[in-house]
Amino acid sequence: MLAGYPRDKRGLCDPGLVAAATAGERIAAADYLAADIARTALGRRMGEFHRRYDLLLTPMMSVPALPVGQDLNDPAGEEHWVDWSPFSYPFNMTRQPAASVPCGLTSAGLPIGLQIVGPLYAEDRVLRAARAFETTQPTRRPPLFAN
């Protein structure tokens, strides 16, 4: 995706995106095809899950919001953002529709999100569920801090 950008302009991009693109440049075609087979298998398993269940509810993130400019929650034990965000990328891979709706605040006042995941092509179901949840919730906003 970044191949169209001059290398000297990559400093303007998100560092995590640049790192992922750089790692992707080293992936062989055979490895890419093996990953695509695994992605397809995950999609099939999720299709089986959704034959029994209308929706899947998960936390949006496994950690509270990170400070601006920080890409890792625990740099000592993590290398990539996927190490602390296991709930979103699987559904990007399987192309399932998902929505994140606010569902509360941490004790520090940081927002917490609920993720609603539906079967392939069921965007309408996900959006209806997100709207139904939102209408039952009180308005919660994190405090604003002035510097």
Residue 57 lies in a domain: yes
Token pair for 76:
């000592």
Determine, yes or no, domain membership for 29: yes
pLDDT in tens, 13-58: 888 788 888 888 899 999 999 999 999 999 999 999 999 999 999 9
Average pLDDT over residues 120-143: 89
Nearest of 83, 49, 51, 54 to residue 66 by alpha carbon: 83
CA–CA distance from 91 to each of 11, 36, 42, 57, 123 (Å)? 29, 14, 9, 12, 13
**Domain annotation covers residue 1:** no
Q: How many domains does the chain have?
A: 1
Residue 16 belongs to some domain of the structure: yes
Q: Let me know if residue 53 belongs to a domain.
A: yes
Task: State what percent of residues in the chain have pLDDT above 70.
Answer: 95
pLDDT at position 147: 56
Residue 143 lies in a domain: no
Q: Is residue 145 part of a domain?
A: no
**pTM score of the predicted model:** 0.77
